[in-house]
Amino acid sequence: MMIWVNQIVQGILLGGYYAVIACGLSFMFSVMRMINLAHGSLAIVAAFALYVLADQYGFNPFSALILVLPAMAVLGWVLQRTILERSQRGGMLVPILSTFGLSIVLDNLLFEQFGADTRSLAPFIDELSYDSWTITDDLYIGKLAALTFVAAVVILGGLQLFLTRTQLGRSIRATAEDPDTVGLIGINAKRVNAAAAAIALVTVGIAGAFLGMRATFDAYAGGPQLIFAFEAAVIGGAGSLWGTLIGGIVLGVAQSLGAQISPQGFLITGHIVFLAVLFGRLHLDTIGTKFRKTVRRSA
Amino acid sequence: MSQDPTVRVERWTLQSRISILAAAIILAILATGPFFFGNNAIDKLTTLFIYVILAVTWNALAGYGGLVSVGQQAFFGLGAYAAVRLADAGLNVYVSLVLAAVIIAAVSLPISSFMLRLRGGEFAIGMWVVAELCHLLVNLDSLVQGETGTSLIALNAYDADTRHALNYWVALGSMTAILVILFVLLRSRIGSAIQAIRDNEEAAASLGVRVMGTKRIIYVFAAFGAALAGALWLSTAITFQPKTYFGVQWTAYMIFMVLVGGLGTFEGAILGALIFFLIETWFGGSGVWYLIGLGATALVFSLFVPRGIWGWLERRFGLGLLPLGYRILGVPSATRMQTPDDGGIGAAPSVGTP
């Protein structure tokens, strides 16, 4: 019994990581109405950057973030101005195709540079990678996992405050509503979108750091991270910030329980729960429509 | 327009009659291939036919249907897996290959019912999730032995020369069938309906186009094509390792072929497959840089040449080898219909300039 409780707790904590990686994807979707298929690959780029700084230059991964996060922000800005902005003008299909092309380029450049070896940032953060608080004999909470979860809450809360309380945040929301009309009230939609992409990539950088610390990664690890981020974002309701955290937790708990059933269960259960939520939502929509129709008819 | 005696709507042009005849002659010559070529050349051409199937069916989904999937490897892998299973059950190998594709097309029908509710990027990645799930589930089969994989041992019944020739003929026949089916589909009401849906789903629905049913036909056709390609690939590769068949690189190849050749053009997808085949022959050995080049080319084409090489040729020279659209002749120049020059994918590919 305690084993299951422990698995659920671990799943919730894992959900914190998924929320971190999913919030950038969800944020970009809500602002620019596009899904960046290079999202996962960019997180791996950040993880490798942190690895190089830690391994070659002796940085602690946390202090290395001071260098990597601004670099990710610049990358986001440049990416938006050079590729994404242009692709969005081509209609709905082009962003999918161009960001997929970009992910292939990034993955294989990383492979070219770093080879097939798996890396981890765990050796550079000493006891934080394995330390935990023991609650009972069967229940423990890893310090890194707890830190990730807290970071997720802080990032989501920070984004929420930023979007509601700051001028730029309000501009981003206005641009998301109607990119053409905001020009009339003196907002430069291109700059606002570039700023949003920069912010999204900062969260991607943080996700890359946590991924590197809690697990191993290699050049081709971007694809699975994109899928997890997407699943968490969709389960939580694409475009909703706090929904991302709930989506992450649902995905994390599903995977964690699945892993307890069988070794392959981790991924399978995650995907099945994702599809079930998707199916359920569509089904509920149909029931909802029928219900509304019935109400209207009787009224 | 039809009342105007000076206007004539033409479907078959001299150009298209000649190109259909040429295509038939080329296919007939190709059919005699095994009598003249060595096994190496036969295998190469078989690979090319499989690429054409992949490109043409992915293009049907993305270029004509507006549904970009990054998960067609789901059906590619399932097609190969079903062929392994059918052959293991004692069915003739070549019957298994074709039957596998039919079964997977049937399997794709229930999947379509909720994947098609997703739009744009959500559909794209949703399909990838489906592919990952299929991969994991196939790994659970004890016959496949996880990532170790298995082989199509039943092919041993044929000696090497016969096997190469049969692979070739089955692949050529499959490619021809796929091309003919798509040609007929696109010339029918479904062809107009699916392109209308791609360009504007709400507007199409308001004109009475059956949106879901039409999308489903094109989705199942694309799944059938990918499954057939997977089964044929298995016949040439013999070994079945799930990782190879369910890998996302297949999507990368399909996107490359269709983008470079011409998204939403019938001839473009075939041209793209040919270009990809040549590039792979020349640069496939250069490993990682080859893949970086593929990704970068796809990126550049999607941004700067969204209608690909064929789309560019079509517009530049008014080419139209296949009678897929309508040509309007004798229109006074002031009201002459022209291909919309927006450069976007939504541009109607079938209306040619007279």
CATH of the domain spanning A2-298, picked from 2.30.170, 1.10.10, 1.10.3470, 1.20.272? 1.10.3470
Please report the pLDDT score of residue B343 as a whole number.
39
Average pLDDT, chain B: 83
- Which tokens belong to B265? 């053009």
Cα A178 to its chain centre, rounded Å, is 25
User: 3-class SS at B107?
Assistant: helix
What ipTM does this complex have? 0.86
- The pLDDT value given to residue B206: 83
Q: Residue B121 is nearest to which of A90, A96, A102, comparing CB atoms?
A: A96
Mean pLDDT for B70-77 is 94
Locate tokens 């507006």: which residue? B66
Residues of B in contact with A100 (CB under 8 A): 70, 124, 251-252, 255, 298
Contact (CB<8Å) B298/A35: no
Distance CA B339, CA A223 (A): 38
User: Hey, CA dihedral for A7, A12, A18, A22, is it positive or negative?
Assistant: positive
Is residue B83 pLDDT above 70, yes or no? yes
Rounded Cα distance between A129 and A122, Å, is: 6
The confidence band for B189, taking pLDDT boundaries of 50, 70 and 90, is confident
Nearest in space to A145 (alpha carbons), one of A7, A264, A261: A7
Residue B177's pLDDT band (boundaries 50, 70, 90)?
very high
Are the Cβ atoms of B294 and A93 closer than 8 angstroms? no
Domain boundaries defined on chain A? 2-298
Q: How far is CA B188 from the centre of its chain?
A: 18
What band does B63 get if pLDDT is binned at 50, 70 and 90? confident
Residue in B62, B133, B295 nearest the CB of A93:
B62
**Pair of tokens at residue A186:** 């003196």
Mapped onto helix, strand or coil, the DSSP state of residue B240 is strand
A10 CA to centre of own chain: 18
Residue of B63, B252, B119, B299 lying closest to A34 (CA atoms): B119
| Identity of the amino acid at B164 | H
Q: Which two tokens stand for residue A217?
A: 């990664």
B262-317 confidence digits (pLDDT tens): 888 888 899 999 999 998 888 877 788 888 988 999 899 888 888 888 888 888 77
- Is CATH 1.10.287 the classification given to domain B36-288? no
Per-residue confidence (pLDDT) for residue B7, from 0 to 100 = 67
How far from B45 is each of A54, A64, B164, B280, CA to CA, in Å?
50, 52, 11, 13
Q: What is the pLDDT along chain A (299 residues), one digit of tens a residue?
A: 778 888 898 899 999 999 999 999 988 888 888 889 999 999 999 999 999 999 899 888 888 899 999 999 999 999 999 999 888 887 778 888 899 999 999 999 999 999 888 998 888 887 777 777 887 777 888 888 889 999 999 999 999 899 889 999 999 888 888 888 888 888 888 888 999 999 999 999 999 999 999 889 999 999 999 999 999 998 887 667 888 999 999 999 999 999 888 888 889 999 999 988 888 877 776 666 666 666 666 55
Query: In B, which residues are within 8 Å of A274 by CB distance?
Result: 129
pTM reported for the whole predicted model: 0.86
- A→B contacts (Cβ < 8 Å), by residue, are 29, 34-35, 37, 83, 86-87, 90-98, 100-105, 107-109, 111-112, 223-224, 226-227, 230-231, 234, 238, 264, 267-268, 271-272, 274-275, 278-279, 282
pLDDT at B114: 80
Q: Where are the domains of chain B?
A: 36-288
Backbone angles phi, psi at B210, to 5 degrees: -80, 100
Is the pLDDT assigned to residue B340 strictly greater than 60? no
A96/B118 touch (CB, cutoff 8 Å), yes or no: no
Question: A92 and B66: CB-CB below 8 Å?
Answer: yes
